[in-house]
Amino acid sequence: MDITGKIIAVLEPRSGVAKASGNPWKIQEYVLETIGEQYPKKMMFSIFGEDKIQQAAINIGDEVVVSFDVNAREFNGRWYNDIRAWRVSHDVNGAAPAQQPYAPAGSAPAAAPDPFAPSNEKDDLPF
């Protein structure tokens, strides 16, 4: 999935060492606000891995296109969503246009069929 927006917050990075392997890890979280919508939405996403964090080079105020995966995990009987970015592009103008859930302004909506209009179809219902 992709989302386009403006970075409004860069949260403090977290890091540690994996218990099983002993390898260090780092995660950075960001808050994005959608742009160009009547009611902008906010989404927090994360980037895992110090090399990927540096490669993304995200700063507050950047307009970006974020490609991400959503996953949920359970911990102590509660479920948590994890939105993990796998690509961040600073080329907002080259991004594919966002899907519009509504018809563009000025276009006429398609006429809905009249369910009570007589038809030539045979009715197999017994009532």
Mind giving me the DSSP string for 1-42? -EEEEEEEEEPPPEEEE-TTT--EEEEEEEEEEE-SSSS--E
Task: With H, G, I as helix, E, B as strand and everything else as coil, classify residue 72.
Answer: strand
User: pTM of the entire structure?
Assistant: 0.69
Residue type (1 letter), 94: G
Domains delineated in the chain: 2-89 (2.40.50.140)
Give pLDDT tens digits for 70-105.
999 999 999 999 999 999 999 877 644 443 333 344
Burial of residue 26 (CB within 10 Å: 0-12, 13-18, 19+) is: middle
pLDDT of residue 94: 66
Whether 68 has a pLDDT exceeding 80, the answer reads yes
d(CA 57, CA 84): 16
Residue type (1 letter), 33: E
Residue 28, number of CB atoms within 10 A of its CB: 22
Q: What is the mean pLDDT of the chain?
A: 82
